[in-house]
Amino acid sequence: MAHVVIANKKATAYTPNSALQPNEWNTRAPTYGCTACARQPTIFTNPVAIPAFIAPGSYSVSVVADYEQRVAESNEGNNGLTAFSPVEIRRADLLVTAITAPATGSIGKTIAVGNTVKNEGMATATAVRVSFFVSPVSPTAGQGRLIGTRDIASLPAAASSAVTTTLTLPANLEPGSYFVSAVVDVAGAIVEGEEGNNGRTADGQILVGL
């Protein structure tokens, strides 16, 4: 939340204005004459949306009144103020730290895949989905065909979720050798400090037969 104090401006109330850029607010001047109003501060608290591209870290927060200089003032150099204490931006950072697949499997049958997901970030991640894939040609995590998912309701910072997931090999899968991989948050629904480390491929390949 940003606690904003605008002093020495002739404004008595604030109203959200959808035409303004995100994290900007409009103060509306009164329609009646009021000399004292010009010296009264307008104090309000408003949520501030942190852009997804902002990396984790410590940031200074400042507020500037009349940033676009639409209002003629006697002093244009005193419109900004920076908060005394910085704000710490925290993000989740989800990784698949382990995945194991059986050596063999059968078309249309189930396989048991061990997998561990860890949150190495500084914020809790919620509604986490882990997706599993098989590919006959590429060891890159997330390549090939989706064969199942598992969901984690909440994963706190520094916590891990290690389970064995039962997956079904598609009935129309061609016999052969396949790489098995897992990717957490493949849809990119969770804002993370690092988006490029979400997948892992099991060592070796699974031999799928009839």
pLDDT tens across 173-197, in order? Answer: 999 999 999 999 999 999 898 889 9
106 compared with 22, residue with greater pLDDT: 106
With CA atoms as reference, report the closest residue to 123 among 101, 75, 150, 155.
Answer: 155
Cβ proximity of 2 and 61 under 8 Å? yes
User: What pTM was estimated for this model as a whole?
Assistant: 0.69
Residue 204 and residue 163 in contact, taking contact as beta carbons nearer than 8 Å: no
What is the C-alpha separation between 98 and 141, in angstroms, rounded? 12
Kindly list the domain boundaries of the chain, sorted by start residue: 2-89, 94-209
Check whether 15 has a pLDDT greater than 70. no
For range 157-186, the mean pLDDT: 97
- Judged by average pLDDT, the poorest of 79-88, 142-151, 167-176, 183-192 is 79-88
**HSE-up of residue 128 (Cα within 13 Å, Cβ side):** 28
Residue 20 scores a pLDDT above 60: no
CA distance between the termini of the chain: 59
pLDDT of amino acid 121: 92
Q: What is the mean pLDDT of the chain?
A: 82
Q: Tell me the per-residue pLDDT of 58-67, one tens digit each, with 9 for 90 and over.
A: 677 778 877 7
Separation of alpha carbons 95 and 117, rounded Å: 6
Nearest to 131 by CA among 197, 177, 185: 185
Q: Are 1 and 48 in contact (CB under 8 A)?
A: yes
- Architecture of the domain delimited by 94-209: Sandwich (2.60)
Residue with tokens 């909440």: 154
- Work out the pLDDT band at 25, boundaries 50, 70, 90: low
Q: How confident is the model at residue 9 (pLDDT cuts 50, 70, 90)?
A: very low
- Strand 206-209, strand 104-106: pairing: parallel
pLDDT of amino acid 24: 54
Question: How far is Cα 35 from Cα 42, in angstroms, rounded to an integer?
Answer: 15
How deeply is 143 buried, as exposed, middle or buried, from its count of CB atoms within 10 A (0-12, 13-18, 19+)? middle
How many angstroms separate the CA atoms of 114 and 203, rounded? 12
Is the confidence at residue 83, as pLDDT, over 80?
no
Distances (CA, A) of 103 to 41, 56, 164, 177, 204: 71, 40, 15, 10, 8
The pLDDT tens digits for 100-136 are 999 999 999 999 999 999 999 999 999 999 999 999 9
